[in-house]
Structure 1
Amino acid sequence: MQSRNIEYIQKLDHLRFLAAVIVLIFHAKVFYHFPSVKWIPILDQGYVGVSLFMVLSGFILTLITLGKDISVSSFYTNRVLRIYPLFIFVVTAGYFSTPEPRETAVSVDFMMSLLPFSNLARLKYGPFGGQLWSVMVEMQFYLLFPLLAFMLKVRGVTFYLFTILLMLTVRLSVFFLNGSVQEMAYFSIFGNVDIFLIGCMAGLVYRSIGNGVMPHYIWISAFIGMNIILAGLNRFGFSNSSMFWVLWPDVQGLIWATLIIAYLRSGRIVLSGMWTYFGKISYSLYAWHILVWMVVVRFLPTPFISPYVTGALIVLPLTVMLSTLSFYVIETPFLLLRSRYILAKSISSV
């Protein structure tokens, strides 16, 4: 569903779909418990798809609001209409799927899961909603964004850089204190705000470079670069206790930001319309793919050819079908209720 606040950029939906697919196929190793396939690094370490979603969020919001005044109340309303209907549906369905009688703690967990800071308690969001922790991190960024956009106006990009420096300092301090910082760097706003802000700054770069066409090899090189780094981390035994987690969110953000800018400025993409459609339903793809994996593994305890092939040829098509229904039944009615939150007379154009 196109935003009322910015002219539609088709290729952004391509990248949303890419992020969803990376995460979906990555979870093959979770459900089939097979050893890492290190010759496909982006799938073996597909959690990086989450960071692509987050860079995209910062990027898009900056394109929309740069040089504009916004209605904060309308901005928050739009974010709630975008995020919460599907989130509540998936979480509620999950909790109601648990066997009777349900303990009182289940209802407490359910109510807590609806709060924007619910990832603090590391709730499970029901039996098939665990991946939704990242949606709540996004909500936290949305709560901060009007202030961040204001500070960009009055202090410039320096404020974003100093914010990232502060987060790096906090994560480094926590590493020295606890000997590990992976939980903070990956599951909280203290790691992901860097990624969002890098996305915001990518939006500034995108606006400043004009409308020239970039060769495809630039975004392809960024994608290959991510794979090379992931392969290197695997080679050297990258673990949850590694000090590199202090810096890893920023490295991911920079690579994805490069890919986004280059991809959006590249030439024509084959089957663009299909990727666009899949990108439009990417939130539903992300929200429902765990349930589909659970059902597939129940009926197919041994993977078809390989776990990754099972993910690509069985889980992905089934999730697309479910997500199509979900998008039109759950998401669309609320998306139609969104309004413009840009107060300037002219709409953003890219």
Structure 2
Amino acid sequence: MTTTTAPVPPPRAFIPALEGMRGMAALGVLVTHVAFQTGTSGIPFFGPLLERFDMAVAVFFALSGFLLWRPHAAAAHGLGRAPRTSRYLLHRVARVLPAYWVVVVFVLVLLPGAAHSANLRVWVSNLFLLQVFVPLTLTDGLTQMWSLSVEMAFYLVLPVLAWLFVRLRGPAARWRVPVLCGLVVACLTWNLWPIPTPDAIHADNWLPAYLPWFAAGMLLAELIHLARTGARWPRVLSNQPLMWAIALAAFVFSATEFGGPAGLERAQPWQYAMKMVLGMVLGFCLLAPLVVHRVGAQHRWLESRTAAILGRWSYGIFLWHLVVLTVVFPVFGIMPFNGHFIYVITLTIALTLPLAAASFALIEEPARRWAARWDRRTVSARVEEAESVQRPAMR
């Protein structure tokens, strides 16, 4: 008996398991920050693993790479049209900035440590996601936003990448995967170049360093269109036990010296490149069986109601968990870097989830609906304009 891969879903089809995976990645980011601030790295074996949950960022980036590159890959294979850049940017801004701005204002006005040092440079850098470019602007409660700054840079660069790939269509689309792989190899050398930066700013926090993690998802977006019934490699990618075993191995390996030191200590260039490779493997292997899936395959936990809720709240979890963590220590009388991991993570999750739910219901979802309405009005206006031009010609 042979198994076949499912037909390629439409370019914008919703894949429930990816929503669940997004929720798990958000909790992973929360775990790594609680592990760091409770000082659990000293625990043999488990400490480094808990702190290395920062590799959840690789999953976030791979998800963005897959979902945002998927329409361009589909268009290259003759399935639909690539999104308009203006429409794409509108939805990205509506998705990211409103909820983010609420957190920034809350932290810089009400969080004592951050509010005390919030000068104009800190305000501007945080409001416009420039923290990785402007020295000394990462502040308490917002330090995780470096990754959102990198993600926003990817959003802005993606239309340029799509334009550079525009000739690789139809029969030439088979070259898209090799070209992406070449781009990954080039980016892995980023840390070896003497990039001039201001004091306290490191170029290894800029987009080129992390592009391999986005490329993991972009490669999957291309590969789903190259899958053919009867081919062997699609069956390998859809083999969830195998792919997730490889992902687990990459994660464990990343917790060794090959993945660089945990915490705030900077890695050597070779360690940084290795961490990028391991993160790319992790993101690719976790997502592959979810998007290159067999007919009838189900991912029960990731498609469950609980996982779906966590996925919808994932952005709010990411935004608010460090604010909560910053408050938990003084309010509950816990000394930072002094243990109590289970206690602190329980409190942090319990207090973060209601904030994330409120963020989704009151800010994120209304912003998404507003962008959708604006997009429909824009399309309707263009259709009416085109019809008004055609009418005189028909007469």
Pick the TM interval, shorter chain: 0.7 to 0.9
Change (3 A) 1:241 1:332: closer
Residue 269 in structure 1 maps to residue 300 in structure 2: yes
Distance in 2 of aligned mates of 1:312 and 1:104: 27
1:189-245 C-alpha deviation (Å, 9 max, x unpaired):
121122212221122123433698834312430332133212433799786242221
Matched length: 332
How far off its partner does 1:15 sit? 1.1
How far off its partner does 1:29 sit? 2.9
* Amino acid of the structure 1 residue aligned with 2:272: W
Change (3 A) 1:234 1:89: same
Indicate which of 192, 215, 218 corresponds to 1:172.
192
Indicate which of 223, 226, 246 corresponds to 1:208.
226
The equivalent of 1:95 in structure 2 is: 108
Distance in 1 of aligned mates of 2:98 and 2:120: 19
Answer whether contact 2:11 2:70 (CA < 8 A) is retained: no
Answer whether contact 1:219 1:263 (CA < 8 A) is retained: no
% of aligned pairs identical?
Answer: 20
Distance in 2 of aligned mates of 1:269 and 1:311: 29
SS in structure 2 at match of 1:330 = helix
The equivalent of 1:33 in structure 2 is: 39
The equivalent of 2:244 in structure 1 is: 220
The equivalent of 1:16 in structure 2 is: 22
How far off its partner does 1:84 sit? 0.5
The equivalent of 1:346 in structure 2 is: none
1:235-261 C-alpha deviation (Å, 9 max, x unpaired):
997862422213421331122111111
* Amino acid of the structure 1 residue aligned with 2:279: Q
Answer whether contact 2:55 2:251 (CA < 8 A) is retained: no
How far off its partner does 1:146 sit? 1.0
Matches within 5 A, 1:174-253: 174=194, 183-185=202-204, 187-209=205-227, 214-233=238-257, 240-242=266-268, 243-253=270-280
Residue 64 in structure 1 maps to residue 81 in structure 2: no
How far off its partner does 1:31 sit? 2.4
Distance in 2 of aligned mates of 1:331 and 1:112: 22
How far off its partner does 1:315 sit? 1.5
Distance in 1 of aligned mates of 2:54 and 2:249: 16
Change (3 A) 1:188 1:37: farther
Change (3 A) 1:317 1:237: closer
Distance in 2 of aligned mates of 1:228 and 1:336: 41
Matches within 5 A, 1:201-350: 201-209=219-227, 214-233=238-257, 240-242=266-268, 243-264=270-291, 265=293, 267-270=298-301, 272-302=304-334, 307-339=340-372
Matches within 5 A, 1:99-110: 106-110=119-123
Cα RMSD over matched residues? 3.3
Answer whether contact 2:23 2:314 (CA < 8 A) is retained: yes
Residue 44 in structure 1 maps to residue 71 in structure 2: no
SS in structure 2 at match of 1:131 = helix
Answer whether contact 1:117 1:140 (CA < 8 A) is retained: no
Change (3 A) 1:153 1:309: same
Residue 121 in structure 1 maps to residue 111 in structure 2: no
Structure 1 unaligned residues grouped into runs of 5+: 344-350
Answer whether contact 2:32 2:54 (CA < 8 A) is retained: yes
Distance in 2 of aligned mates of 1:138 and 1:292: 23
Indicate which of 176, 180, 204 corresponds to 1:160.
180
How far off its partner does 1:71 sit? 0.9
How far off its partner does 1:34 sit? 3.7
* Amino acid of the structure 1 residue aligned with 2:326: M
Answer whether contact 1:82 1:331 (CA < 8 A) is retained: yes
Larger RCO (CA within 8 A; separation ≥ 6):
1
The equivalent of 1:134 in structure 2 is: 147
SS in structure 2 at match of 1:128 = coil
* Amino acid of the structure 2 residue aligned with 1:268: H
Distance in 2 of aligned mates of 1:288 and 1:5: 31
* Amino acid of the structure 2 residue aligned with 1:55: A
The equivalent of 1:348 in structure 2 is: none
The more displaced of 64-73 and 279-288 is 64-73
Greater radius of gyration (CA): 2
